[in-house]
Amino acid sequence: MNLFIILAITIAFSASAEIGKECQNDFNIYCSNKPAPIRANRFDCLNNHFNTLKPECKKWILTELEDDPCNDDIQKFCLGEHQNKNKAFECLTYQVKNLTKDCKALVETKLHKYDKLKQKFAPCKEDINKYCAGKLMHEQNKCMLEKYKNNKLSPQCREIILNSIESKNAVQ
């Protein structure tokens, strides 16, 4: 997968991870003080605190995992990645030809959305390669946010990152 679309994939996939009312209090405790891209990735943030969540929130998370049309494919092809939706999805993108029908449809739909985001984040390609190359998806996201805060990114990339952060904050 091209490095310069990793940030786009993270932002887009994270936005789809809405939390249930069962987890709102836990989200406020464990995730609301995180930087915007991490807050936007609601599911993974909560899952990182799974052992300390209230029982109703744990139940909601487990139900979400069971209802995922890709759950069986994740277990089959992406062993060990099931607790992190971003890592699991990235793994599934390498297995598209082998996925079950419903999972394949979901992955292809998301990849189509990412193609559009790829165009949007194209001005960040050089910045990502310069500052964050070789990092895993979630590490790359943190790296780009750090470079944004330290005013290291190109003006075009800064504007895209700012707009993405603002639009994600407006959703929350």
What tokens appear for 98 in the block? Answer: 């082998």
User: Averaged over 51-55, what is the pLDDT?
Assistant: 88
User: Averaged over 21-27, what is the pLDDT?
Assistant: 87
| Predicted confidence (pLDDT) per residue in 105-154, tens digit | 988 888 887 777 777 778 888 998 899 887 765 677 788 888 998 999 99
Q: What share of the chain is helix, strand, coil (3-state, %, to 5)?
A: 75, 0, 25
User: pLDDT grade, residue 168 (50/70/90)?
Assistant: low
Please tell me what DSSP assigns to residue 16: T
d(CA 140, CA 128): 8
Q: Answer for the pair 140, 7: CB distance below 8 angstroms, yes or no.
A: yes
What tokens appear for 83 in the block? Answer: 């607790």
Phi and psi at residue 83, in whole multiples of 5°?
-85, -10
Q: How is the chain split into domains, by residue range? A: 3-122
Please tell me what DSSP assigns to residue 18: P
Q: How many CB atoms lie within 10 A of CB 111?
A: 16
d(CA 11, CA 141): 8
Is the pTM higher than 0.85? The answer reads no
